[in-house]
Amino acid sequence: MTDQPAPVRLRSTLAGVPAYVPGKPPAPVEGVTSYKISSNENPFPPLPSVTQAISDAAQQVNRYPDMGVVALTEALAVRLGVPVEQLATGTGSVAVLAQLVAIACDPDDEVVYAWRSFEAYPIVVALSGARSVQVPLDADARHDLDAMAEAITDRTRLVVVCTPNNPTGPAVTEQELRAFLDKVPSDLLVVVDEAYVEFTTEESVSDALAIAQEYPNVVVLRTFSKAYGLAGLRIGYAVAHAAVATALRKAATPFGVTDLAQHAAIASLAAEDELLARVEELVGERERVVAGLREQGWQVPQAQGNFCWLPLGDDAVPFAQAAQERGLMVRPFAGDGVRCTIGETEANDRLLDVAAEWLRTQG
Ligand code: PMP
């Protein structure tokens, strides 16, 4: 990255667009295995059937992929019990989100979302020329949906509800989501970002797919990156009203979803039982880690994704540094907290050790 001025005219608003900060790769530390638990990735490698599908598809990379993503869309429609017309895919759900902003917002329109939440939101919104309206999370690091409803103006064109919320962890309840939707204008697009939905276990968690069938303004955003372990292939999708899905397909990068990604996703759906058993294992680890941290005295908010949140405030960066020295890459959000992905058992054990040591030496 360079701070040099560009030799050509670029949009003046670019200066205000934050850069996405990816999780750091594991830094080698002598004598220990390093682990990356900074990007909410799935620690399991792809299943052999998925690797096989990718290598079969690799034989044809001289050809463009199926732009209609037909076979995968059909498989998803069966799996989710929704008509194919209601599905739109994209190059990761972050790209589908950018498509949503593109179809909903004119310059200076407003996008309401909670903060702190997924760091791509302000970037995608700013790049489009729309404006972010960030509504603070409540004291339990949960969405304050009443305050979000109040933040809606006649310039609001999109609301994003992230559940479970990245990076803090809590999920919105069915009751909360329905009450919110009953309050907001029925022609306002509400995106429910469910990137981590497969990891939710609380009974009260909203069922946005069912809700989307009742509220035509609701779009459910999902991804193959987390529970299905295909982060590197970049594939996500939206379930939306058929007219919204059609608009989303128009806004997609042509041929953006590769053939490798399409076939890997189809193979993943076929092997879903195995993949969901892995998710269950990770959820078990999450419960173990969260219980261990709370026992140590940490105030960990409800964790419904594949990660947990340590509200360290100004100590976020020093904690991440201390973890890195022990071969553990976590994700600090300066002045706020640290997000730790649930990873391999040894990585989770290390996190518990690092957290205990932090309290012993700094607490
Ligand atoms: N939404 C949320 C809440 C996320 O945390 C992420 C990934 N970190 C995404 C969307 C994007 O996922 P992808 O683009 O890999 O599908």
CA distance 255 to 68: 8
Whether ligand 1 lies within 6 angstroms of the CB of 324 is answered as no
pLDDT at res. 172: 98
Residue 282 pLDDT greater than 70, yes or no: yes
Domain-embedded: residue 204:
yes
On whether both 185 and 166 belong to a single domain, the answer is yes
CATH code of the domain in which 163 resides: 3.40.640.10
Atom of ligand 1 nearest to the CA of 117: 3
Whether ligand 1 lies within 6 angstroms of the CB of 151 is answered as no
Whether ligand 1 lies within 6 angstroms of the CB of 123 is answered as no
Whether ligand 1 lies within 6 angstroms of the CB of 327 is answered as no
Q: What is the mean pLDDT of the chain?
A: 96
Structural domain total, the chain: 2
3-state secondary structure of 90: strand
| pLDDT tens, residue by residue, 152-209 | 999 999 999 999 999 999 999 999 999 999 999 999 999 999 999 999 999 999 899 9
Domain-embedded: residue 137:
yes
pLDDT at res. 1: 65
User: Between the CA atoms of 192, 194, 200 and 204, what dihedral angle is there, to the nearest 10 degrees?
Assistant: 10
CATH code of the domain in which 291 resides: 3.90.1150.10
| Helices first, then strands: H and E counts in the chain | 12, 12
- Alpha-helical runs (H) found in the chain: 48-58, 70-80, 93-104, 120-128, 145-150, 174-183, 208-214, 242-250, 259-270, 272-296, 316-325, 345-362
Q: Which helix (H) or strand (E) covers residue 309, if one does?
A: strand 307-310
| pLDDT tens, residue by residue, 46-78 | 999 999 999 999 999 999 999 999 999 999 999
User: Between the CA atoms of 264, 277, 164 and 180, what dihedral angle is there, to the nearest 10 degrees?
Assistant: 90
pLDDT at res. 363: 65
Residue after which a domain boundary falls, among 224, 240, 270: 270
On whether both 279 and 219 belong to a single domain, the answer is no
- Provide the 10 A C-beta neighbour count for residue 22: 9
Handedness of CA 98, 99, 102, 105 (dihedral sign): negative
Phi, psi values for residue 308, rounded to 5°: -140, 165
Residues 6+ apart with CB under 8 A from 223: 92, 93, 195, 235, 236, 237
Mutate to test the pocket of ligand 1, among 117, 118, 342 (most ligand atoms within 8 A of CB): 118
**Burial class, 317, CB count within 10 angstroms (exposed 0-12 / middle 13-18 / buried 19+):** middle
CA distance 285 to 295: 15
Domain residues for the domain of 210 are: 48-270
